[in-house]
Amino acid sequence: MAWDFETEPEFQELLDWAAGFVHDEVEPADLVVDDPFDRSDPVREAIIPPLQQAVRDKGLWAAHLGPDLGGQGFGQVKLGLLNEILGGSKCSPVVFGCQAPDSGNAEVLAHFGTPELKARYLEPLLAGEVFSCFSMTEPQGGSDPTAFTASAVLDGDEWVINGEKWMSTNARHASFLVVMAVSEPDNPPHQRASMFVVPAETPGIEIVRNVGVYGEAPGHGHHGYVRYTDVRIPRDHLLGDRGGGFVVSQVRLGGGRVHHAMRTVGQVRRALDLMCERAISRETKGALLSRKQLVQEMIAESWLAYQQLRILVLQTAWKIDKYQDYKRVRGDIAGIKILAPRVLHDVAVRAVQVHGALGVTDELPLGGMIMSSLSLGIADGASEVHKVTLSRQVVSGYQPASGLFPTGHLPARRAAAERKYADVLGPAGVPT
């Protein structure tokens, strides 16, 4: 097998175009478009659609999807390289048609949706005509599906959904919601819930409030606290099997975790760039910051962490391309899910320190990166949960020692080596 750290020239040209396009066109849009999901904003409508068309014309629209779904079928490695470029920009995912939670919801609909559901919901989602919401987490249960209480009861030809959901991303702008609810309460814990498509206009859906992360202006939150009261949907709006919601969610979340990590690489690179630029621009006590040993250590440690995260993410993407099986790469996905928020946090904090007072203001994006790192450590399963997954995966590849002492026990190994080379060492254990 050949190992190659280069990208073929044809795709590198697309990456170079994307980098220039994001820098010249999309990043300026970040500063004037308040919310890239808000189609009621005339500024957004004047700026974002033409940028999306430019991406379509270049063949980079919805690059996370296969050709059968309107994407290019680039694979995860190429997608990772592209997502690095998009990760540092607020509007880029929407401009390139790969925004969360829509990318994951599209994957779920593609895998588990009926032809009718695909025509009604998937096709306009892929076309960028609508947005969607993933409504799984609950106030009392967090992301633990075994603690969910929202229910779905079959009544004739309709499912009736009741309950509350917490941190339902993009509920305020969604045309439909993908909702997990308990439909088989007597089943084993991981076979109790099912996944449903719920049109946003269905009576009984109430957004109690839109929750923002710390630092966002009031009313600008993207995470809905949603209440479902006797919400009736057609029987055929079930995704997958009854009681199969956990399986459906893992298919969805596996890819989402990888894509989040890919975009985080771009954020880390942005923080590192800001830190280095500041270090060679600012003097204190007669010398540039870049000449100070503590700043040099910050830069070196940040570069090492960035490269480690980037290579691990790309290796995980390579394994997904190779095996086409998220389950087989589950430990690797858990690893990048753990590492990505940690690296972003550490590098952004160092960048704040190098910028001094300016670093903690809202005149730089560094505070937002720190907050983003904390969100990443919780979203799609807390880092602590993924550490358990990774540990189990790593340990599963080992066998227990057969004797009293571990296999690395030097006296036992030395005795075995002496027996192996007895003809050379002689009876006294010394060379003959």
Measured distance CA(163)–CA(147) in Å, rounded? 13
**Given the structure tokens 């004047």, which residue do they identify?**
46
For 398, the enclosing helix (H) or strand (E) is none
Q: What are phi and psi of 182, to 5 degrees?
A: -75, 115
pLDDT at 426: 81
Measured distance CA(51)–CA(46) in Å, rounded? 10
pLDDT at 228: 98
Point out the least confidently predicted range of 1-15, 29-43, 74-88, 174-188: 1-15
pLDDT tens, position by position, 278-317: 999 999 999 999 999 999 999 999 999 999 999 999 999 9
pLDDT at 216: 76
Structural domain boundaries in the chain: 9-99, 132-243, 247-395
* Mean pLDDT score, 95-106: 92
Report helix, strand and coil shares of the chain as percent, to nearest 5: 55, 15, 30
The pLDDT > 70 percentage for the chain reads: 97
Residue 252 has pLDDT above 90, yes or no: no
pLDDT at 380: 80
* Mean pLDDT score, 188-213: 95
pLDDT tens, position by position, 349-404: 999 999 999 999 999 999 999 999 999 999 888 899 999 999 999 999 999 999 89
Measured distance CA(146)–CA(144) in Å, rounded? 5
Measured distance CA(386)–CA(388) in Å, rounded? 5
Listed in sequence order, the residues at least 6 apart from 22 whose beta carbon sits closer than 8 Å to its beta carbon are: 85, 86, 88, 89, 92
- What's the pLDDT band for 208 if we cut at 50, 70, 90? very high
* Mean pLDDT score, 260-285: 96
DSSP assignment of 294-331 equals: HHHHHHHHHHHHHHHHHHHHHHHHHHHHHH--TGGGHH
Point out the least confidently predicted range of 64-68, 154-158, 225-229, 400-404: 64-68
The pLDDT > 90 percentage for the chain reads: 79
For CA atoms 347, 331, 102, 55, give the dihedral sign. positive
- What's the pLDDT band for 258 if we cut at 50, 70, 90? confident
pLDDT at 432: 60
Instruction: Give the Cβ contact number of residue 371 at 10 Å.
Output: 16
- What's the pLDDT band for 430 if we cut at 50, 70, 90? low
Residue 1 has pLDDT above 60, yes or no: no
pLDDT tens, position by position, 144-186: 888 899 999 999 999 999 999 999 999 999 999 999 999 999 9
The number of residues making up the chain comes to 432
Coil, strand, or helix at residue 287? strand
Q: Which residue has the higher pLDDT, 131 or 68?
A: 131
pLDDT at 310: 97
Contact 184, 243 (CB under 8 A): yes
Instruction: Give the Cβ contact number of residue 430 at 10 Å.
Output: 8
Q: What are phi and psi of 421, to 5 degrees?
A: -110, 30
- What's the pLDDT band for 254 if we cut at 50, 70, 90? low
* CB neighbour burial string for 229-267, b if at least 16 within 10 angstroms, e if fewer: eebebeeebbbbeebbbbbbbebbbbbbbbbbbbbbbbb
CATH number of 132-243: 2.40.110.10
pLDDT at 112: 93
Query: Is CATH 1.10.3720.10 the classification given to domain 247-395?
Result: no
Listed in sequence order, the residues at least 6 apart from 75 whose beta carbon sits closer than 8 Å to its beta carbon are: 317, 321
* CB neighbour burial string for 378-403, b if at least 16 within 10 angstroms, e if fewer: ebbbbbebbeebbeebeeeeeeeeee
pLDDT at 390: 94
The letter for the amino acid at 77 is V
DSSP label of 429? T
Q: What are phi and psi of 229, to 5 degrees?
A: -125, 105
Point out the least confidently predicted range of 94-98, 216-220, 247-251, 301-305: 216-220
Reference 315, options 337, 334, 339, 332; nearest CA is 332
Contact 63, 79 (CB under 8 A): yes
pTM of the model: 0.91
Residue 431 has pLDDT above 90, yes or no: no
Residue 18 has pLDDT above 90, yes or no: yes
